[in-house]
Amino acid sequence: MRSKSAPWVLMAPFLLLFLFTMVLPIIIAIVQSFLTVQRTGLVGEDGAVSRFAGLENYLAALTNQNFTDSILRMLAFGVVQVTVMIVASTILALLLESASARWPGLFRAAYFLPYGIPGVIATILWSFLYVPGLSPIVDALGWVGIDVDFLGPNMVLWSIANIVTWTYTGYNMLIIIAQLKAIPGDIYEAAKIDGAGPLRVVTSIQLPLIRPALMLTIIFSIIGTLQLFAEPQVLSSMSSGINSEYTPNLSAYAYAFQYNDLGMASAEAVIIALAAFILSAAALGISNRLGRKS
Amino acid sequence: MSTSTQTQGSSAHSTGGAGTPGATSKRTKPGKAARESRTAGTKPTTTIIVTAILVIVALYFLVPVYWVIVNATKSTEDLFGTNGFWLGNSFQLFSNLGDVLTANGGAFPRWALNSLLYSGVGAVFACYFAVAAGYALAKFEFPGRNAIFAFVLGGVLVPGTATALPLFLVFSKIGLTNTYWSVLIPSLLSPFGLFLARIYASAAIPDEVLEAARMDGASEMRIFHTIVLRQLVPAIVTILLFQFVAIWNNYFLPLVMLADEKLYPITLGLNNWRAQTDRLPEFYQLTVGGALLSVIPLAILIIVLQRFWRGGLTEGSVKG
């Protein structure tokens, strides 16, 4: 086989799956978002007709207070949660890769462990630590006079943020560690010969060289934030603060499967995807600009 | 990124670290020796402070797991009546776990096997496809290379949940919803794996090695299956692990696709049990026991796979 066809043969299975499970659904979502379904008969028993609706669904979604609230809620959530998580992941990665850390393998495993616990099960676990009567944490805080309602309408967003941070900090840390390990040892040797201290090594060698990994983790975290679904969905039965349109994704799910409005659900899905796209592109752009300055 | 890579120049590779203090371990791997040569000269107080921080952080990550282990041993009354951080009055771990395994006619073992099927099969094939494509993008010059990468990158940025709804429509058209395939097929795609494979392939596979193999008359497929896959083992383990866990953790896709409880993965099944705790308190203990059982296999997997995280990803190849 000549090299000309080789890359295409290697890429074929991936690209076919990509087209079928990614591109095709996106096209369908976009088409669907411009359609509206009209049912005939009293309960729609005479069948349904799709008609072109233009931007109706988008206008309806963007003027829906619940949906815009859910987007703003995720923005507030993302700014706080992603920042805290990425800073924590970076510090933990640098500490574990530093010369001063004892038993790095053990700690790495402990921090990464939550990533192996599905979001749903993590939420169930943490919910046991949130529910008054069951939670030893609520009990302990009560003894020292602090009354917290982790599932109250104002607190629950940050209780979710805690679950997400708990689940993904170790995962992001591992991506950063992988890139730290890829830094050739001779660079450290050279820095040592030049008399660079540990802090100098962090700021001049490690942080610049792990920038690609940091961008990767930030972008995936932003996308993850916009996709938030399992945690609030599971907690919604325990918290009065979570309605069926608490996050953009919960809203799209509710429109698709509870309200049977596929046009609206698709429009919301497209808006979520576009938002993820724009935010990630912005993150990449900022990173590139910073990269050129340094 | 290029600024500091230039400094490596032509250093004599003495990473064996024979004379470095602290290199007392039997087999000094290059990565380990490099880190231990850096260990020399750090103050003990720094070590104590750093380790203390690491321990405190570890407690945070382990608290929910500890809670579930302790409380899986309790009766339902003790679950609510005794301190959640310590054992209750009765120790009935094994009868609790027995209940988990036999409740609903053995639903839990079935969900576990389903999860294993989705994750195992999905991860192996997704990894193979992603590594092949990532290697092709990293190591071949062909028209459209950058366009394809940009396209796939665009795909990575699209939330999985945004595609799950329309995918449900596609699958329902061809009658695939509520089957194993409806969860398995989307799990075979790992754009993230392609991403990692491309990064590592461009760093870890020297063009000289590929050229030499081509000179020897090896076919491209043979080169991929023998030389490339072996060089990429660290990346492959990473992709396998991540994809396995990603499928294992997936909730939205099976929730959308599956109606039949028999096809549920653990995530959906366990949440089903939890949802019943409102009416039937005995489901609390089933949920706690089920959570424990579903945490254990992945905990073991992660600890066992720890050793694969050791060593640099570019180890053992020509640096460049």
- Residues, chain A, total? 294
C-alpha triplet A175, A180, A184: angle, nearest 5°: 140
DSSP per residue, chain B? -HHHHGGGTT----TT-TT-TT--SSS--HHHHHHHHHHTT--HHHHHHHHHHHHHHHHHHHHHHHHHHHHTTS-HHHHHHS-TTS--S---HHHHHHHHHHHHHHHHHHHHHHHHHHHHHHHHHHHHHHHHHHHHHHH---TTHHHHHHHHHHHHHS-HHHHHHHHHHHHHHTT-TTSHHHHHHHHT--HHHHHHHHHHHHHHS-HHHHHHHHHTT--HHHHIIIIIHHHTHHHHHHHHHHHHHHHHH--HHHHHH---GGG--HHHHHHHHHHTTTT-THHHHHHHHHHHHHHHHHHHHHHHGGGGG-S-TTTTS---
Estimate the share of chain B in helix, then strand, then coil, as percent rounded to the nearest 5: 70, 0, 30
Task: Please check whether residue B133 is in contact with residue A14, taking contact to mean a CB–CB distance below 8 angstroms.
Answer: yes
Q: What residues of A are in contact with residue B42 (Cβ under 8 Å)?
A: 99-100, 198
Q: What is the pTM of this model?
A: 0.81
Interface residue A206 vs chain B (CB under 8 A): no
DSSP state, residue B143: T
pLDDT for A36-89, tens place per residue?
A: 877 666 665 666 777 888 888 999 999 999 999 999 999 899 999 999 999 999
What pLDDT score does A184 carry? Answer: 85
Could you tell me the pLDDT band of residue A95, with boundaries at 50, 70 and 90? Answer: very high
- Smallest Cα distance from A42 to chain B, Å: 25
What pLDDT score does B204 carry? Answer: 84
Determine whether the interchain pair A272/B161 forms a contact, defined as Cβ–Cβ distance below 8 Å. Answer: yes
Count residue pairs from A and B with Cβ separation < 8 A.
325
Average confidence (pLDDT) over A163-181? 90
**Residues contacting A247, CB < 8 A, separation 6+:** A70, A73, A74, A228, A229, A232
Cα(B45)–Cα(B284) distance, integer angstroms: 46
Q: What residues of A are in contact with residue B295 (Cβ under 8 Å)?
A: 116-117, 121
Cβ under 8 Å to B: A residues 74-113: 92, 95-103, 105, 107-113
Mean of the per-residue pLDDT values of chain A: 86
Which residue of A21, A211, A227 is in closest CB contact with B167?
A: A21
Q: With a cut of 90, say whether residue A138 has pLDDT above it.
A: no
Q: What does each of the 320 residues of chain B score in pLDDT, given as a tens digit?
A: 333 333 333 333 333 333 333 333 344 444 444 444 454 556 788 888 889 999 999 999 999 999 999 988 988 888 877 777 888 888 888 988 998 899 888 899 999 999 999 999 999 999 999 999 999 999 998 888 888 988 888 777 676 777 888 899 899 889 999 999 999 999 999 988 898 899 888 888 888 889 999 999 888 899 999 889 998 988 898 888 888 888 988 899 999 999 999 999 999 999 999 888 878 888 888 999 999 998 888 788 777 776 655 433 333 333 33
ipTM beyond 0.90? no
Could you tell me the pLDDT band of residue A292, with boundaries at 50, 70 and 90? Answer: low
Mutate to test the interface with B, among A9, A11, A134 (most CBs of B within 10 A): A11
What pLDDT score does B188 carry? Answer: 95
Q: What residues of B are in contact with residue A110 (Cβ under 8 Å)?
A: 58, 61-62
Interface residue B259 vs chain A (CB under 8 A): no
What pLDDT score does B315 carry? Answer: 35
The gap from C-alpha B94 to its chain's centroid, in whole angstroms, comes to 29
Question: Mean pLDDT lowest for which of A20-24, A144-148, B30-34, B190-194?
Answer: B30-34
State the residue for tokens 């109250």.
Answer: A152
Residue predicted with more confidence, B109 or A282? B109
Mutate to test the interface with A, among B182, B274, B276, B285 (most CBs of A within 10 A): B274
What does the domain layout of chain A look like in residue ranges? 55-293
Q: What residues of A are in contact with residue B137 (Cβ under 8 Å)?
A: 7, 11
What pLDDT score does B13 carry? Answer: 36
Number of Cβ within a 10 Å radius of residue A7 = 23
Q: Does the domain made of A55-293 have the CATH classification 3.50.50.60? A: no
Q: Which residue of B has its CA nearest to A236?
A: B275
Interface residue B82 vs chain A (CB under 8 A): no
What pLDDT score does B155 carry? Answer: 76
DSSP state, residue B258: -
Question: CA torsion sign, B313 to A81 to A115 to B259?
Answer: negative
- Smallest Cα distance from A284 to chain B, Å: 12
- Smallest Cα distance from B62 to chain A, Å: 7
Determine whether the interchain pair B51/A10 forms a contact, defined as Cβ–Cβ distance below 8 Å. Answer: no
What pLDDT score does B163 carry? Answer: 84
Determine whether the interchain pair A128/B84 forms a contact, defined as Cβ–Cβ distance below 8 Å. Answer: yes
Q: Which residue of B has its CA nearest to A212?
A: B1
Q: Which residue of B has its CA nearest to A256?
A: B165
